[in-house]
A = this chain, B = another copy of it.
Protein backbone atom coordinates (compact mmCIF):
# COMPACT_ATOMS: atom_id res chain seq x y z
CA UNK A 1 0.00 0.00 0.00
CA UNK A 2 1.79 3.08 -1.24
CA UNK A 3 -1.08 5.44 -1.70
CA UNK A 4 -4.65 6.06 -0.54
CA UNK A 5 -6.91 6.59 -3.52
CA UNK A 6 -10.35 6.18 -2.03
CA UNK A 7 -11.61 6.80 1.50
CA UNK A 8 -15.02 5.75 2.76
CA UNK A 9 -16.69 7.30 5.80
CA UNK A 10 -19.63 5.32 7.13
CA UNK A 11 -22.14 6.42 9.76
CA UNK A 12 -25.46 5.21 11.09
CA UNK A 13 -24.32 1.59 11.11
CA UNK A 14 -26.38 1.69 14.27
CA UNK A 15 -29.48 3.74 13.57
CA UNK A 16 -29.75 5.32 17.02
CA UNK A 17 -26.16 6.59 17.07
CA UNK A 18 -26.97 10.01 15.71
CA UNK A 19 -23.52 11.66 15.84
CA UNK A 20 -22.17 9.59 12.95
CA UNK A 21 -25.44 9.54 11.01
CA UNK A 22 -25.83 13.33 11.04
CA UNK A 23 -22.13 13.88 10.26
CA UNK A 24 -22.60 11.67 7.19
CA UNK A 25 -25.58 13.79 6.15
CA UNK A 26 -23.52 16.97 6.66
CA UNK A 27 -20.61 15.59 4.62
CA UNK A 28 -22.97 14.44 1.87
CA UNK A 29 -24.38 17.96 1.70
CA UNK A 30 -20.97 19.67 1.84
CA UNK A 31 -18.57 17.25 0.14
CA UNK A 32 -15.83 19.88 0.00
CA UNK A 33 -15.36 19.37 3.73
CA UNK A 34 -14.02 15.86 3.22
CA UNK A 35 -12.35 16.40 -0.14
CA UNK A 36 -8.54 16.36 -0.27
CA UNK A 37 -6.38 16.83 -3.36
CA UNK A 38 -4.91 13.34 -3.56
CA UNK A 39 -7.87 11.04 -2.90
CA UNK A 40 -11.63 10.86 -3.18
CA UNK A 41 -13.94 10.38 -0.18
CA UNK A 42 -17.29 8.64 -0.27
CA UNK A 43 -19.93 8.69 2.46
CA UNK A 44 -22.46 6.03 3.37
CA UNK A 45 -25.41 6.02 5.76
CA UNK A 46 -25.19 2.31 6.51
CA UNK A 47 -28.54 1.50 8.08
CA UNK A 48 -31.03 4.07 6.77
CA UNK A 49 -34.13 2.14 7.86
CA UNK A 50 -32.90 1.81 11.45
CA UNK A 51 -31.91 5.50 11.46
CA UNK A 52 -35.39 6.44 10.20
CA UNK A 53 -36.99 4.77 13.23
CA UNK A 54 -34.21 5.69 15.69
CA UNK A 55 -33.29 2.13 16.59
CA UNK A 56 -29.95 0.34 16.65
CA UNK A 57 -31.19 -2.17 14.09
CA UNK A 58 -34.39 -3.65 12.72
CA UNK A 59 -33.71 -7.38 12.79
CA UNK A 60 -30.02 -7.98 13.56
CA UNK A 61 -27.08 -5.82 14.67
CA UNK A 62 -25.59 -4.71 11.33
CA UNK A 63 -22.13 -4.43 12.84
CA UNK A 64 -22.18 -8.18 13.53
CA UNK A 65 -23.14 -9.10 9.95
CA UNK A 66 -19.73 -8.86 8.25
CA UNK A 67 -18.31 -12.31 8.98
CA UNK A 68 -16.79 -13.44 5.68
CA UNK A 69 -18.82 -16.66 5.69
CA UNK A 70 -22.05 -14.75 6.35
CA UNK A 71 -21.44 -12.33 3.50
CA UNK A 72 -21.08 -15.36 1.22
CA UNK A 73 -24.12 -17.19 2.60
CA UNK A 74 -27.10 -16.75 0.24
CA UNK A 75 -29.57 -18.05 2.84
CA UNK A 76 -29.04 -15.07 5.16
CA UNK A 77 -31.59 -12.48 4.15
CA UNK A 78 -32.73 -10.35 7.08
CA UNK A 79 -32.73 -6.62 6.35
CA UNK A 80 -29.33 -6.10 7.96
CA UNK A 81 -27.78 -9.23 6.45
CA UNK A 82 -28.79 -8.04 2.98
CA UNK A 83 -27.60 -4.54 3.82
CA UNK A 84 -24.19 -5.93 4.83
CA UNK A 85 -23.84 -7.69 1.49
CA UNK A 86 -24.84 -4.49 -0.31
CA UNK A 87 -22.31 -2.46 1.68
CA UNK A 88 -19.60 -4.99 0.91
CA UNK A 89 -20.34 -4.64 -2.78
CA UNK A 90 -20.25 -0.85 -2.67
CA UNK A 91 -17.15 -0.53 -0.47
CA UNK A 92 -15.04 -3.56 -1.15
CA UNK A 93 -15.97 -4.85 -4.57
CA UNK A 94 -17.07 -3.51 -7.96
CA UNK A 95 -13.66 -2.08 -8.78
CA UNK A 96 -14.11 0.92 -6.50
CA UNK A 97 -12.95 -0.54 -3.25
CA UNK A 98 -12.05 1.77 -0.40
CA UNK A 99 -8.40 1.88 0.66
CA UNK A 100 -9.28 3.38 4.00
CA UNK A 101 -12.53 2.90 5.95
CA UNK A 102 -13.86 4.91 8.88
CA UNK A 103 -16.99 3.73 10.69
CA UNK A 104 -18.58 6.26 13.07
CA UNK A 105 -20.17 5.01 16.28
CA UNK A 106 -21.22 6.43 19.62
CA UNK A 107 -21.60 4.96 23.09
CA UNK A 108 -23.29 5.71 26.39
CA UNK A 109 -19.95 4.88 28.06
CA UNK A 110 -17.44 7.62 28.91
CA UNK A 111 -14.99 6.62 26.18
CA UNK A 112 -14.04 10.04 24.82
CA UNK A 113 -12.86 9.65 21.23
CA UNK A 114 -11.95 5.98 20.98
CA UNK A 115 -10.25 4.41 18.00
CA UNK A 116 -11.14 0.73 17.71
CA UNK A 117 -8.41 -1.17 15.92
CA UNK A 118 -9.30 -4.63 14.64
CA UNK A 119 -5.76 -5.26 13.42
CA UNK A 120 -2.29 -3.91 14.11
CA UNK A 121 -1.33 -2.85 10.61
CA UNK A 122 1.64 -0.46 11.02
CA UNK A 123 -0.21 2.28 9.13
CA UNK A 124 -3.20 2.10 11.51
CA UNK A 125 -0.89 2.10 14.53
CA UNK A 126 1.03 5.11 13.28
CA UNK A 127 -2.16 7.06 12.56
CA UNK A 128 -3.57 6.11 15.97
CA UNK A 129 -0.34 7.22 17.65
CA UNK A 130 -0.48 10.53 15.80
CA UNK A 131 -4.11 11.18 16.74
CA UNK A 132 -3.62 10.33 20.40
CA UNK A 133 -0.57 12.59 20.44
CA UNK A 134 -2.42 15.66 19.14
CA UNK A 135 -5.61 15.11 21.17
CA UNK A 136 -5.67 13.77 24.74
CA UNK A 137 -9.34 12.71 24.33
CA UNK A 138 -8.23 10.05 21.82
CA UNK A 139 -7.81 6.54 23.24
CA UNK A 140 -6.87 3.44 21.28
CA UNK A 141 -8.60 0.12 21.90
CA UNK A 142 -7.39 -3.04 20.20
CA UNK A 143 -10.15 -5.58 19.75
CA UNK A 144 -8.31 -8.51 18.22
CA UNK A 145 -9.66 -11.46 16.30
CA UNK A 146 -7.87 -14.71 15.56
CA UNK A 147 -8.27 -14.03 11.87
CA UNK A 148 -10.05 -11.65 9.56
CA UNK A 149 -12.64 -14.37 8.91
CA UNK A 150 -13.75 -14.13 12.56
CA UNK A 151 -14.30 -10.38 12.46
CA UNK A 152 -18.02 -9.50 12.16
CA UNK A 153 -17.51 -5.71 12.09
CA UNK A 154 -17.98 -3.46 9.11
CA UNK A 155 -14.29 -2.56 9.40
CA UNK A 156 -13.39 -6.13 8.41
CA UNK A 157 -14.04 -4.97 4.83
CA UNK A 158 -10.83 -2.95 4.72
CA UNK A 159 -7.40 -3.50 6.24
CA UNK A 160 -6.78 0.21 6.74
CA UNK A 161 -8.98 2.35 8.92
CA UNK A 162 -10.99 1.76 12.07
CA UNK A 163 -14.18 2.50 13.92
CA UNK A 164 -14.46 5.68 15.97
CA UNK A 165 -16.50 5.27 19.15
CA UNK A 166 -17.41 8.55 20.85
CA UNK A 167 -19.09 9.08 24.20
CA UNK A 168 -20.68 9.45 26.60
CA UNK A 169 -23.86 10.19 24.71
CA UNK A 170 -27.36 8.75 24.98
CA UNK A 171 -28.83 6.95 22.02
CA UNK A 172 -31.15 8.90 19.76
CA UNK A 173 -29.79 12.41 20.26
CA UNK A 174 -27.01 14.83 19.34
CA UNK A 175 -24.58 16.63 21.64
CA UNK A 176 -23.00 19.61 19.92
CA UNK A 177 -19.60 19.35 21.65
CA UNK A 178 -19.20 15.68 20.76
CA UNK A 179 -20.42 16.32 17.20
CA UNK A 180 -17.71 18.97 16.78
CA UNK A 181 -14.98 16.87 18.41
CA UNK A 182 -15.81 13.93 16.15
CA UNK A 183 -15.77 16.14 13.07
CA UNK A 184 -12.38 17.59 14.07
CA UNK A 185 -11.01 14.07 14.53
CA UNK A 186 -12.20 13.11 11.04
CA UNK A 187 -10.51 16.17 9.57
CA UNK A 188 -7.27 15.27 11.36
CA UNK A 189 -7.47 11.76 9.88
CA UNK A 190 -8.12 13.04 6.34
CA UNK A 191 -5.27 15.53 6.67
CA UNK A 192 -2.96 12.72 7.81
CA UNK A 193 -3.96 10.61 4.77
CA UNK A 194 -3.29 13.56 2.48
CA UNK A 195 0.18 14.08 3.98
CA UNK A 196 0.86 10.37 3.65
CA UNK A 197 0.05 10.56 -0.05
CA UNK A 198 2.40 13.56 -0.27
CA UNK A 199 5.10 11.54 1.55
CA UNK A 200 4.93 13.96 4.47
CA UNK A 201 3.77 11.75 7.30
CA UNK A 202 3.81 13.74 10.55
CA UNK A 203 6.28 12.74 13.23
CA UNK A 204 4.84 10.89 16.18
CA UNK A 205 5.94 9.65 19.53
CA UNK A 206 7.73 6.36 19.45
CA UNK A 207 5.20 4.75 21.71
CA UNK A 208 1.45 4.28 21.55
CA UNK A 209 -0.72 3.59 24.58
CA UNK A 210 -2.96 0.72 23.54
CA UNK A 211 -5.81 -0.88 25.51
CA UNK A 212 -5.80 -4.51 24.49
CA UNK A 213 -9.06 -6.46 24.81
CA UNK A 214 -9.01 -9.23 27.45
CA UNK A 215 -12.59 -10.29 28.14
CA UNK A 216 -16.12 -9.09 28.81
CA UNK A 217 -18.03 -9.07 32.11
CA UNK A 218 -21.78 -9.60 32.41
CA UNK A 219 -24.10 -7.97 34.93
CA UNK A 220 -24.88 -9.93 38.09
CA UNK A 221 -27.82 -12.12 37.10
CA UNK A 222 -30.29 -14.44 38.75
CA UNK A 223 -30.85 -17.94 37.45
CA UNK A 224 -33.75 -16.75 35.32
CA UNK A 225 -31.42 -14.34 33.53
CA UNK A 226 -32.70 -11.11 35.06
CA UNK A 227 -30.08 -8.71 36.39
CA UNK A 228 -29.90 -7.85 40.09
CA UNK A 229 -27.21 -5.21 40.07
CA UNK A 230 -25.89 -2.10 38.36
CA UNK A 231 -22.50 -0.59 37.60
CA UNK A 232 -21.15 0.64 40.95
CA UNK A 233 -21.22 4.44 41.30
CA UNK A 234 -17.45 4.40 41.88
CA UNK A 235 -16.90 2.66 38.52
CA UNK A 236 -19.47 4.59 36.43
CA UNK A 237 -17.73 6.86 33.86
CA UNK A 238 -14.29 5.46 34.81
CA UNK A 239 -13.55 3.98 31.38
CA UNK A 240 -9.80 3.62 30.72
CA UNK A 241 -9.00 3.95 34.44
CA UNK A 242 -7.27 1.19 36.39
CA UNK A 243 -9.53 -1.24 38.26
CA UNK A 244 -7.65 -3.18 40.93
CA UNK A 245 -8.60 -6.48 42.58
CA UNK A 246 -11.02 -5.83 45.44
CA UNK A 247 -12.33 -2.53 44.08
CA UNK A 248 -16.11 -1.98 43.57
CA UNK A 249 -17.58 -3.19 40.29
CA UNK A 250 -21.34 -3.58 40.82
CA UNK A 251 -23.97 -2.46 43.31
CA UNK A 252 -26.92 -4.79 43.74
CA UNK A 253 -30.49 -3.51 43.94
CA UNK A 254 -30.22 -4.33 47.66
CA UNK A 255 -27.21 -2.01 48.04
CA UNK A 256 -24.55 -4.69 48.32
CA UNK A 257 -21.20 -4.00 46.66
CA UNK A 258 -19.69 -6.64 44.39
CA UNK A 259 -15.95 -6.18 43.94
CA UNK A 260 -13.65 -7.05 41.08
CA UNK A 261 -12.27 -10.49 41.89
CA UNK A 262 -9.56 -10.79 39.25
CA UNK A 263 -5.93 -11.23 40.18
CA UNK A 264 -4.43 -8.29 38.37
CA UNK A 265 -5.26 -4.71 37.45
CA UNK A 266 -7.45 -4.19 34.38
CA UNK A 267 -8.69 -1.13 32.50
CA UNK A 268 -12.46 -1.43 31.89
CA UNK A 269 -14.13 0.23 28.89
CA UNK A 270 -17.65 0.21 27.46
CA UNK A 271 -18.84 0.58 31.06
CA UNK A 272 -22.67 0.67 31.04
CA UNK A 273 -23.14 0.77 27.26
CA UNK A 274 -26.93 0.62 26.78
CA UNK A 275 -26.77 -1.51 23.63
CA UNK A 276 -24.76 -4.21 25.42
CA UNK A 277 -27.40 -5.06 28.04
CA UNK A 278 -28.97 -7.46 25.54
CA UNK A 279 -25.54 -8.86 24.70
CA UNK A 280 -24.79 -9.63 28.36
CA UNK A 281 -21.91 -7.18 28.55
CA UNK A 282 -21.59 -4.76 31.47
CA UNK A 283 -18.08 -3.75 30.43
CA UNK A 284 -15.04 -4.97 28.53
CA UNK A 285 -11.77 -5.47 30.40
CA UNK A 286 -8.54 -4.40 28.75
CA UNK A 287 -4.83 -4.48 29.43
CA UNK A 288 -2.98 -1.17 29.10
CA UNK A 289 0.12 -1.54 26.95
CA UNK A 290 2.87 0.67 25.58
CA UNK A 291 3.64 -0.23 21.99
CA UNK A 292 6.77 0.77 20.04
CA UNK A 293 5.97 2.49 16.74
CA UNK A 294 8.31 2.91 13.79
CA UNK A 295 9.26 6.46 12.98
CA UNK A 296 9.47 7.76 9.47
Name A's B-contacting residues (CB within 8 A): 22, 25-26, 30, 54-55, 108, 168-177, 179-180, 226-227, 230-233, 236, 251, 253-255, 272-275, 277-278
Contacts and interface: CB of A to CB of B under 8 A. Distances in A.
A173 B272 contact: yes
Nearest to A231: B176
Interface centre among A173, A236, A272 (most CB of B within 10 A): A173
A236 to B, nearest CB: 6
Contacts of A172: 108, 171, 274-275, 277
A38 to B, nearest CB: 26
Leading 4 A-B pairs by shortest Cβ distance: A170-B170, A172-B274, A173-B274, A174-B230
Nearest to A29: B253
Tallying the copies of this chain within the complex gives: 2
Contact of A108 (B173, B275, B277, B278): B173
B230 A25 contact: no
Contacts of A232: 176
Contacts of A55: 55
B274 A175 contact: no
Contacts of A251: 176
Contacts of A171: 170-172, 274
B175 A230 contact: yes
Contacts of A108: 170, 172-173
